[in-house]
Chains A and B, each alone.
Chain A
């Protein structure tokens, strides 16, 4: 089974620039998550999709962050404009179905974003 694919692995941008991250989940997984992980901290949920609908985006800074999941498969997370405090690792994860409590998350290796 192929894992969760993310790109790019690293990105360095200047503040006020824009950036986009891409995620391809495990085939057949209905639920897709974007997490932000700041160095030394646990992952913080930004947005959770069930198929192509949003389940939760309460912690997504909507003035600068946006995410979409077209056709219920791939997803893109965008930041525009970036701030210094956005420097973090952005993790994408998928699970079989968030409606079943025993669905563990499968993570990609993340995109490390540095904003200078």
Chain B
């Protein structure tokens, strides 16, 4: 059974304090790893897709990396507006890819 585990469950940072979120996965036939951001009362919003080990993607203060067993979302000098829940999802299998989500990391950035 495909499994996606995110850590930590919750993270509190001071503005400007860089950190990383982790997503580890156990799947058969990874076809893509996705990061989403979810604000309270909203649906998840797509951030990045990663396909192969060694790949990196960047967007503003966020940088996502991928190894064969896990992905990291690095947040550099975060601001309060980066506060949200960050979800990791994997697409695996053959044919139609069925997305499996982790439980998410709730990030709060204090001014």
Contact = CB atoms under 8 A, between A and B. Distances in A.
Given A45-B98, A102-B49, A102-B51, A108 B43 contact: yes
A107 B41 contact: no
Nearest to A106: B46
A101 B49 CA distance: 10
B4, B6, B44, B101 — most chain A CB neighbours (10 Å): B44
A42 B31 contact: no
A104 B46 contact: yes
B103 A107 contact: no
Contacts of B51: 101-102
Interface string A29-73: 001010100001111110010100001100000000000000000
A45, A105, A109 — most chain B CB neighbours (10 Å): A105
Interface of B: 4, 6, 31-32, 34, 36, 41-46, 49, 51, 87, 89, 91, 95-104
B16 to A, nearest CB: 27
Contacts, number: 67
B32 A105 contact: no
A66 B34 CA distance: 28
A56 B95 CA distance: 12
Interface of B (DSSP majority class): strand
A43 B90 CA distance: 12
B45 A107 contact: yes
B96 A4 contact: no
A98 B89 CA distance: 14
A42 B49 contact: no
B43 A50 contact: no
A79 interface: no
Given A42-B87, A101-B51, A48 B43 contact: no
A45 B101 CA distance: 9
A93 interface: yes
